[in-house]
């Protein structure tokens, strides 16, 4: 029945030369893998470097300034003779501008996303979406210009006593800047909702609005929320718009009509001047940077978690 | 066998359909759907089965540029559901559909079934509760899910999801139910349960089902229509189609001959 | 053989119905045989005519069962024991129908015997014995089929030898009568036809028993001696 | 029987028609919401698009006087009318060159490693987490990193090299992520097919993975580069000079060894910084310069983004697995 | 009926082989009948024994063809005309096998006639006539099956009446002989068995013809009079 | 039927397989593959058919943490292809595979077929040309593509793509060919052509095929193995498995009974 497993010379011949080649082949493969791994480790190195630098310089800063003062003092004037080191004004500025931006961006962005994904014709969407994505690519300094020289004058016509530098204009422009971001990510999330789910709803006799609100939005909700959170992180870390248009005076206020500095604006302002390496002013921007980093990092992590959940949906 | 007289529930009259790219997908189809019967549509891929089925609840209206020509008349009210004045939403409220892949909404089991009622403005909790239970029973799912109506529908197995979709469609008391290859995404066990369900549903409503699986058509349907290249080649009792089809083309298709 | 149920309850029902129909057909024939035998025993022409009349039912059942079989094949793509069952039923039904025909022959002979023929010397006991044996064979075959009992099936096949022997004895006896008194020839030939019909009925029961073995074991023992 | 049927049909008929009427009314009510929402949605969209249009046209109108070749060939100057952006665009170009040469090889290699090689262990998890976090780090923090590390730590000074490396790190996550996405779009079945005919890992990567993900990677690179081009904050943070009235040494010379690297350590400015600088001048005339520069930056970034988007759509259309 | 080819060339081959096997079996039986008839005509015992011997081949073919049918059903899920063909072949094969049995009976009778029996007055022409008719019927049935020609099938069914009439005439003649000279009874009975076998062969050919009509038209005309 | 003596081309000996998550997917499988025969693997979803098949070309090595235990011995050289010292690449050069969904490379038709040769260091254009033609002929595709060898493989139809994949696998003269549900993504016409191709290929090599379609197993294979929950329940001649299986569990599966 079975023939005896005699080894035929032919099969011997075909196999052994291959084995000889293995050693060299395996070595090359290993070397390539090692090089690629080094490249991947650069990401880790970067993060470590960021954390290390921020911590190192901040440590120098906190040798001079107590952590208590940093978090409780109400003034931030590290460069004055009479220096105060309370981060609160910068945080207030950051939060106010970000809040305004989100107030503008979230509703407009969401509505635009729903419109594009559920109401607009295929053609409209195919044209509008890339244009929106272009908006994401516009350099922020240009938006700063726009806020300062276009929006603020416009606002001043409505609110006469608005300052030339103010958080309102900066916030609004930042909001508009973020709209495409939210619209695009949220629309992606909604588009990822399978067509058969929509057909399921329409087949039940639902209208477009019912389908959009009752089926598509809930299905895409985690994607949409992730878009919001990433937008917050973006607003908090945004630099040039506020640096240009919101003013650079730390000011502990939540009044959008006033001018105030954000954390980012402060860093820019200091960096523009020629501060000596190692001075307390120099160190202060790292301390501010550390606060910024912690804030955005938390948002990013939340966003990441939400997004991961949404990936697992279908 | 059973020579009872058949009531026509709906019929397509000289129905033509054109996709937005101009493709003439249906070519003058005349076909009845008999009340409380299951009619199966078979034919090679791309022959227009789904296209025909989707005319019945005007799914094609969701995509711009598609065009109907001809009539689908529903009885007893004699409405041509393709007429311009007839709102597709109204049609879909009378004719429900179950899709190829189970497509429950990302909601609870309960809310999935209640959806059609809510869309119709249903508010009364008691009424909805009753309807939901009734529909789930009708879809042979009640016993399996009655203790976890608030679970997410995605947590059900594929076959259960499909039965949930059937329950969802049932909840609004449709007159006709359309199935587009309802078991092609399911394993044999789930397939068997859906097929049994369909033959039970026949007592309540009229069914039109597209299937690739000839044996499935043979198993579940009372009448079978064979379509080819957008034409209706033969419409006969299922028993006849698979054992002694009238048309040579049907015979060739069914026996796997080169047409 | 113990069998599980199909996943499809409709398939279960269809197979059940099919089996029931076969049994029903078999029982019908059993009754026919009994009625024909009674007609012979009591010289009852109307009973004989009734038997002839009833044969339509047998024929209709044959066609209906064949139709069921082909439908199940189309619908269910049966395999293994299911397929063997269906294919065998196609054969069994033919055998049953032939039994029906044999019964008809018996009934016809009973009718013919009522014509003014020269009577045979004595009422033939052999025929009644043949009838008994044939009826038992049929009952055995049906029970064998109902339970898919291959042991019983083998007994049915073996028991047919007794029927054959009885048949031969009857024929020999009839020939003797004919030789002794040529006036009995016509009547004796009718009797011979009846005897042969019973013998054939026995043959058909062995066919059924062979099919049962095929259904249960997948072994085709036709035209082989069973061991 | 017949009669009874008829009457019951008739009653069914009338109730059905009544029912239909109710249904029609309800549908009409529901559809009103459709129209309202559609209008609001369109408005939102138009608002966003209008902003872009306004912004661009504002820049173009404001900067119009400077739209002439001289603007590109002149150095900045104290007199607004004579100021140009020669040093800025040359600076941008050189910085981008460094950025490209840093981010692309590293990013693609890292992406490849993560998708094709990395075993599932703590190290790959660590890398993974780092990449996604880096993508969310505000750009100004990269500035701080560069200030602490490159400028003072490694003593590279406020040079083109520093700026290029900084932006390189900044867009590294973009390149990595888009490389991974592009690689992930290649179905496992293609890979298995290649392995199944006896290819080695590197053969699979080189013959298939890299080849089919090229387009996607390129898209990511272009988007990253356009981002780098517009970045201002990190460059300010490293203390780039804003007033540069000279060009860095040419990278290519006519005498041997023909290539020199002095330009790497040269001081520089870039377009967005130039714009920012002019923007902070009180003199209105400089704001015309700023507007013109802004228009140019926008134009270039839009162009680059446009190319990337076009590329992406092309890929999506051509490759259907 | 003109038929297209299947997409699967193997399926085509399988069906072709199946059909060929049926024809082959039919031809085998035709030869058996001829040989048995020759044996009768020439009183050739060895030919008669040869016929008995050959019957194994017929039986084996029956089993092989049934096996082919069941395999095709499992492999191909035939429908419509293909399924009708296969199911009908299952029936046809049974008929052919029975014809084989009838031929065996003829051969046995030929053998028995060689024993010292009182000879019949004359060589019976009727038997040769019956043999001719039965052979023609079989040829007709096979040709009908080969061409799925329903017209021809109807002729075969109608032609069986002639065979029946001839059979009855032969029987009557034999009874006359028996009555006239009771010594001829044994021989006459053997002749009667032969005659009946030819008559039965004719019946089986009509069964085949009926199956051909079912294959070709899907109409089951068994037990109905053809119009 | 054909009682020719069978040569064993390969056999698994007490083969166990564990996925990285610890799942024990194969439980001591002992099974031969006979030379120049087609062996089909059937069984319910998740029973380990694909897992078993993919052991034969060590596809599981691509994903970390998977573990083989036991042997797969190839004849006549008696190599245990699962042994530590044996390079999976070498195994894949002797045993090729065709997948469920046609997966041509996005390269030209020619390059797809030539790839296996190139990977082996083939450079000689003439030799490669010949091999490509031979493989395409072997896959019954040559006539359809010979005039457009440089076209992108994606431009072929599904069935053609699958035959291209077969040609690609053929080009390197494998001893065994593995098919994992090779027609489940194809329409009936393409399926028929692949099935015929397989029965022809049998003359050249040994085939192991996973299929969900029992009738397909009945049609194409010489031997059939029924697997259940990682066990090999029955290995028999195909003729026997479908008409008179030995094991009750096989019977239940094949006839669709509740096991
Ligand atoms: N959205 C569309 N636009 C243009 N043509 C289409 C569209 N959908 C289908 N078609 C074409 O219409 C014809 C009928 O398609 P349809 O989907 O009804 O076929 P089908 O019989 O349901 O096939 P399948 O069995 O593959 O589902 C086909 O030729 C198809 O290519
Ligand atoms: N990558 C994996 N990791 C862990 N378990 C797996 C993996 N792949 C398969 N399994 C498990 O191993 C078992 C066998 O899977 P396998 O894919 O071999 O089944 P199959 O018989 O091919 O099923 P199908 O017919 O659905 O393809 C299943 O229980 C499955 O869940
Ligand atoms: Mg007759
Ligand atoms: Mg599998
Ligand atoms: O029907 P039979 O003549 O073969 O008994």
> CA distances (Å), E110 to each of D66, E130, E196, in order?
126, 15, 14
Q: Tell me if C17 is assigned to some domain.
A: yes
Decide: E1 and E153 in contact? Cβ < 8 Å: no
Q: For residues A229 and A299, what is the distance between their CA atoms, to the nearest angstrom?
A: 6
Q: For residues F150 and D236, what is the distance between their CA atoms, to the nearest angstrom?
A: 54
State whether D48 and A112 contact (CB < 8 Å): yes
Q: Which residues of C93-116 are buried (b: 16+ CB within 10 A; e: fewer)?
A: bbbbbbbbbbbbbbbbbbbbbeee
Angle at A132 between CA A130 and CA A136, to 5 degrees: 110
Decide: F165 and F104 in contact? Cβ < 8 Å: yes
Q: What is the pLDDT of residue A181?
A: 87
Q: What is the pLDDT of residue D303?
A: 87
In this prediction, residues E59-86 reach a mean pLDDT of: 95
Q: For residues D156 and D238, what is the distance between their CA atoms, to the nearest angstrom?
A: 11
Helices (H), chain A: 9-64, 67-72, 88-114, 122-137, 140-146, 152-158, 167-191, 195-203, 208-210, 217-237, 240-245, 263-272, 280-311
Q: For residues D290 and D276, what is the distance between their CA atoms, to the nearest angstrom?
A: 7
Q: Which residues pair with F18 in a beta bridge?
A: F24, F67
Name the residue with the closest Cα to ligand 2, atom 18. F48
Higher pLDDT, C10 or B9: B9
Q: For an interface test with F, which of C1, C4, C86 has the most F Cβ atoms less than 10 Å from its Cβ?
A: C4
Q: Which domain holds residue E66?
A: 10-217
HEC per residue, chain D: CHHHHHHHHHHHHHHHHHHHHHHHHHHHHHHHHHHHHHHHHHHHHHHHHHHHHHHHHHHHHHHHHHCCHHHHHCCCCCCHHHCCCHHHHHHHHHHHHHHHHHHHHHHHHHHHHHHHHCCCCHHHHHHHHHHHHHHHCCHHHHHHHHHHHHHHHCCCCCCHHHHHHHHHHHHHHHHHHHHHHHHHCCCHHHHHHHHHCCCCHHHHHHHHHHHHHHHHHHHHHHHHHHHHHHCCHHHHHCCCCCCCCCCCCCCECCCCCCECCHHHHCCCCCHHHHHHHHHCCCCHHHHHHHHHHHHHHHHHHHHHHHHHHHHHHHHHHHCCC
Q: Tell me if E226 is assigned to some domain.
A: no
Classify domain D67-318 at the CATH topology level.
MetI-like fold (1.10.3720)
Q: Tell me if C213 is assigned to some domain.
A: yes
What's the gap in Å between the CA of D2 and the closest CA on chain A? 35
* Intervals of chain A under pLDDT 50: 1-20
pLDDT tens-digit readout, D115-136: 888 887 788 888 888 888 888 8
Instruction: Compare CB distances from E78 to B218, B255, B259 and report the shortest one's residue.
Output: B255
Q: What is the pLDDT of residue A8?
A: 36
CA of E88 to the centre of ligand 3 (A): 20
State whether E76 and F215 contact (CB < 8 Å): yes
In this prediction, residues D101-116 reach a mean pLDDT of: 92
DSSP conformational letter for F212: S
Tokens of F37: 């025969």
In this prediction, residues B141-169 reach a mean pLDDT of: 92
| Residue entry with tokens 């081009």 | D229
Tokens of E127: 């038997």
> What pTM was estimated for this model as a whole?
0.84
In this prediction, residues F186-210 reach a mean pLDDT of: 91
Q: Is F57 in the pocket of ligand 2 (CB under 6 A)?
A: no
Q: What is the pLDDT of residue E43?
A: 87
Tokens of C79: 């395999």
State whether C66 and E220 contact (CB < 8 Å): yes
The yes/no answer on whether domain A72-313 falls in CATH 1.10.3720.10 is yes
Q: What is the pLDDT of residue A194?
A: 87
Q: What is the pLDDT of residue A1?
A: 36
State whether C77 and F215 contact (CB < 8 Å): yes
Q: Where along chain D do its domains lie? A: 1-65, 67-318
Q: Is F45 in the pocket of ligand 2 (CB under 6 A)?
A: yes
Lowest mean pLDDT among C23-37, D249-263, F78-92: D249-263
pLDDT tens-digit readout, D30-54: 888 889 999 999 988 888 888 888 8
Q: Tell me if C89 is assigned to some domain.
A: yes
DSSP conformational letter for B49: H
State whether D207 and F115 contact (CB < 8 Å): yes
Q: Is B245 in the pocket of ligand 1 (CB under 6 A)?
A: no
Q: Tell me if C222 is assigned to some domain.
A: no
CA nearest to D25 within chain B: B90
| Closest to E55 measured CA to CA, from E113, E9, E107 | E107
Backbone angles phi, psi at F36, to 5 degrees: 55, 30
Name the residue with the closest Cα to ligand 5, atom 1. C98
Q: Which residues pair with F9 in a beta bridge?
A: none
Query: In chain C, what residues touch F252 (CB-CB under 8 Å)?
Result: 4
Q: What is the C-alpha end-to-end distance of chain C, expressed in Å?
A: 20
Q: Does D186 touch chain F (CB under 8 A)?
A: no
Q: Is F259 in the pocket of ligand 2 (CB under 6 A)?
A: no
Q: What is the pLDDT of residue B4?
A: 56
Q: Tell me if C188 is assigned to some domain.
A: yes
Tokens of F187: 């329409």
The mean pLDDT value of chain F amounts to 91
Higher pLDDT, D78 or C208: C208
Q: Is F51 in the pocket of ligand 2 (CB under 6 A)?
A: yes
**For residue F225, pLDDT beyond 90:** yes
Chains that touch F (3 or more CB pairs under 8 A): A, B, C, D, E
Q: Is B86 in the pocket of ligand 1 (CB under 6 A)?
A: no
Q: Is B13 helix (H, G, I), strand (E, B) or coil?
A: strand
For helices A263-272 and A280-311, the axis angle rounded to 10 degrees is 140
Q: For residues B48 and D185, what is the distance between their CA atoms, to the nearest angstrom?
A: 32
CA nearest to F45 within chain B: B187
Domain count, chain E: 1
| Closest to B34 measured CA to CA, from B12, B56, B8, B13 | B8
Q: Which residues of A225-240 are buried (b: 16+ CB within 10 A; e: fewer)?
A: bbbbbbbbbbbbbbbb
Query: In chain F, what residues touch E14 (CB-CB under 8 Å)?
Result: none
**For residue C1, pLDDT beyond 70:** no
Domains delineated in chain B: 3-254 (3.40.50.300)
pLDDT tens-digit readout, E24-65: 999 999 999 999 999 998 889 999 999 999 999 999 999 999
Q: What is the pLDDT of residue D258?
A: 64
Decide: F49 and F227 in contact? Cβ < 8 Å: yes
Cα torsion through C181, C168, E36, E133, rounded to 10: 60
CA nearest to E72 within chain F: F219
Q: What is the pLDDT of residue F136?
A: 95
Backbone angles phi, psi at B231, to 5 degrees: -100, 150
State whether B239 and C71 contact (CB < 8 Å): yes
Nearest ligand, measured from the Cα of F22: 2
Q: Where along chain A do its domains lie? A: 19-63, 72-313
Decide: B164 and B132 in contact? Cβ < 8 Å: no
CA of B43 to the centre of ligand 1 (A): 12
Decide: A143 and A174 in contact? Cβ < 8 Å: yes
Band of pLDDT at residue B109, cut at 50, 70 and 90: very high
Q: What is the C-alpha end-to-end distance of chain D, expressed in Å?
A: 62
Tokens of E106: 């003829």
Q: What is the pLDDT of residue A18?
A: 41
Neighbours of ion ligand 4 (CB under 5 A): F 50
Helices (H), B23-122: 49-55, 88-94, 109-119
| CATH code, domain with C40 | 1.20.58.220
Backbone angles phi, psi at D222, to 5 degrees: -65, -45
Q: Write down the ipTM of this complex.
A: 0.81
Tokens of C161: 């030898």
Q: Tell me if C192 is assigned to some domain.
A: yes
Q: What is the pLDDT of residue A17?
A: 42
* Sequence-ordered list of residues with C-beta below 8 angstroms from that of B193, at least 6 positions apart, any chain: B140, B159, B163
Q: Is A262 helix (H, G, I), strand (E, B) or coil?
A: coil
Higher pLDDT, E202 or C224: E202
């Amino acid at each position: 029945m079975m023939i005896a497993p005699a080894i035929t010379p032919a099969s011997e011949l075909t196999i052994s030369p291959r084995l000889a080649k293995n050693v060299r082949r395996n070595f090359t493969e290993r070397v390539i893998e090692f090089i690629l791994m080094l490249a991947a480790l650069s990401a880790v190195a970067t993060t470590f470097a960021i954390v290390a630098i921020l911590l190192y310089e901040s440590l120098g800063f906190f040798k001079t300034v107590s952590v208590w003062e940093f978090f409780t003092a109400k003034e931030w004037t590290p460069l004055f003779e009479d220096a105060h080191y309370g981060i609160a004004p910068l945080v207030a500025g950051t939060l106010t501008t970000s809040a305004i931006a989100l107030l503008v961006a979230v509703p407009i962005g969401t509505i635009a996303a729903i419109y594009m994904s559920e109401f607009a014709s295929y053609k409209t969407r195919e044209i509008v979406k890339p244009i929106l994505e272009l908006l994401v690519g516009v350099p922020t300094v240009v938006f700063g210009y726009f806020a300062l020289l276009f929006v603020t004058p416009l606002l001043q016509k409505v609110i006469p006593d608005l300052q030339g530098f103010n958080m309102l204009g900066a916030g609004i422009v930042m909001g508009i800047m973020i709209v495409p971001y939210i619209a695009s990510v949220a629309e992606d999330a909604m588009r990822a909702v399978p067509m058969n789910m929509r057909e399921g709803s329409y087949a039940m006799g639902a209208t477009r609005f019912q389908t959009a609100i009752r089926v598509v939005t809930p299905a895409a909700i985690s994607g949409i929320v992730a878009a919001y959170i990433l937008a917050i992180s973006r607003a908090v870390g945004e630099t040039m718009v506020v640096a240009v248009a919101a003013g650079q005076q730390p000011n502990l206020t939540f009044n959008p009509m006033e001018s105030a500095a954000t954390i980012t604006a402060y860093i820019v302002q200091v960096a523009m001047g020629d501060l000596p390496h190692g001075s307390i002013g120099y160190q202060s921007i790292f301390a501010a940077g550390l606060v910024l980093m912690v804030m955005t990092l938390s948002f990013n992590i939340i966003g990441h978690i939400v997004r991961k959940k949404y990936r697992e949906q279908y | 066998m059973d020579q009872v007289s058949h009531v026509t529930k709906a019929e397509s009259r000289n129905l033509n359909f054109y996709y937005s790219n101009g493709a003439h997908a249906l070519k003058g189809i005349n076909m009845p759907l008999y009340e409380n019967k299951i009619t199966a549509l078979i034919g090679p891929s791309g022959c227009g089965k789904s296209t025909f089925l989707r005319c019945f609840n005007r799914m094609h209206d969701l995509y711009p540029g598609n065009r109907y020509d001809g009539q689908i008349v529903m009885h007893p009210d004699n409405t041509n559901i393709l007429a311009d004045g007839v709102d597709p939403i109204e049609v879909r409220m009378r004719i429900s559909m179950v899709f190829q892949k189970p497509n429950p909404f990302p909601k609870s089991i309960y809310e999935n079934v209640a959806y059609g009622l809510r869309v119709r403005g249903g508010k009364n909790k008691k009424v909805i509760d009753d309807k939901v239970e009734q529909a789930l029973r009708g879809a042979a799912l009640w016993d399996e899910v009655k203790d976890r109506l608030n679970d997410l529908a995605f947590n059900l197995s594929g076959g259960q999801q499909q039965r949930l979709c059937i329950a969802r469609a049932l909840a609004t008391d449709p007159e006709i139910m359309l199935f587009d290859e309802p078991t092609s995404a399911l394993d044999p066990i789930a397939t068997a349960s859906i097929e049994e369900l369909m033959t039970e549903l026949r007592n309540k409503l009229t069914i039109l089902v597209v299937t690739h699986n000839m044996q499935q058509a043979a198993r579940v349907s009372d009448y079978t229509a064979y379509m080819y290249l957008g034409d209706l080649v033969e419409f006969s009792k299922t028993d006849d189609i698979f054992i002694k089809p009238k048309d040579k083309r049907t015979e060739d298709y069914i026996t796997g001959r080169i047409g | 053989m113990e069998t599980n149920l199909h996943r499809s309850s409709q398939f279960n029902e269809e197979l059940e119905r099919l089996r029931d129909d076969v049994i029903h057909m078999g029982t019908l024939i059993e009754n026919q045989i009994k009625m024909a035998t009674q007609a012979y025993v009591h010289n009852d022409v109307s009973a004989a005519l009734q038997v002839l009349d009833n044969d339509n039912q047998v024929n209709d059942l044959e066609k209906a069962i064949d139709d069921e079989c082909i439908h199940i094949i189309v619908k269910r793509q049966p395999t293994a024991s299911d397929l063997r069952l269906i294919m065998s039923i196609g054969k069994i039904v033919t055998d049953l129908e032939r039994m029906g025909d044999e019964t008809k022959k018996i009934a016809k002979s009973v009718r013919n015997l009522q014509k003014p023929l020269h009577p045979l010397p004595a009422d033939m006991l052999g025929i009644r014995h043949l009838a008994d044996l044939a009826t038992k064979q049929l009952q055995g075959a049906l029970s064998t089929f109902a339970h898919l009992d291959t042991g019983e099936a083998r007994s049915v096949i073996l028991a047919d030898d007794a029927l054959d022997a009885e048949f031969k004895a009857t024929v020999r006896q009839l020939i003797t009568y004919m030789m002794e008194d040529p006036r009995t020839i016509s009547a004796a030939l009718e009797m011979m036809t009846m005897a042969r019909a019973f013998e054939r009925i026995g043959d058909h029961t062995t066919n059924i028993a062979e099919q049962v073995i095929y259904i249960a074991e997948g072994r085709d023992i036709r035209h082989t001696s069973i061991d | 029987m017949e009669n009874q049927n008829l009457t019951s049909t008739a009653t069914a008929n009338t109730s059905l028609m009544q029912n239909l009427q109710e249904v029609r009314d309800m549908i009409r009510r529901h559809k009103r919401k459709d129209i309202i929402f559609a209008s609001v949605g369109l408005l939102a969209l138009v608002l966003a698009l209008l902003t872009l249009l306004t912004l661009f046209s504002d820049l173009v109108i404001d900067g119009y006087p400077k739209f002439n070749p001289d603007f590109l060939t002149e150095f900045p100057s104290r007199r607004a009318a004579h100021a140009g952006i020669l040093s800025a665009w040359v600076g941008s170009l050189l910085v981008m060159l460094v950025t490209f040469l840093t981010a692309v090889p590293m990013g693609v290699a890292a992406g490849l490693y993560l998708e094709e090689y990395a075993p599932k262990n703590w190290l790959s998890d660590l890398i993974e987490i780092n990449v996604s976090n880096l993508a969310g780090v505000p750009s100004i923090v990269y500035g701080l990193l560069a200030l602490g590390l490159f400028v003072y730590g490694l003593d590279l000074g406020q040079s083109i090299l520093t700026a290029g490396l900084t932006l390189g790190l900044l867009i590294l996550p973009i390149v990595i992520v888009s490389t991974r996405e592009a690689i992930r779009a290649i179905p496992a079945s293609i890979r298995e097919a290649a392995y199944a005919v006896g290819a080695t890992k590197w053969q699979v990567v080189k013959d298939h993975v890299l080849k089919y993900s090229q387009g996607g990677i390129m898209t990511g690179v272009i988007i990253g580069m356009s981002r780098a081009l517009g970045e201002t904050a990190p460059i300010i943070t490293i203390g780039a000079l804003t007033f540069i009235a000279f060009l860095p040494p040419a990278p290519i010379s006519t005498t041997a060894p023909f290539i020199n690297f002095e330009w790497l350590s040269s001081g520089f400015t870039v377009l967005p910084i130039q714009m920012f600088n002019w923007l902070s001048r009180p003199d209105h005339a400089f704001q015309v310069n700023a507007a013109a520069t802004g228009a140019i930056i926008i134009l270039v970034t839009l162009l680059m983004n446009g190319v990337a988007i076009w590329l992406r759509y092309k890929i999506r259309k051509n490759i259907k697995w």
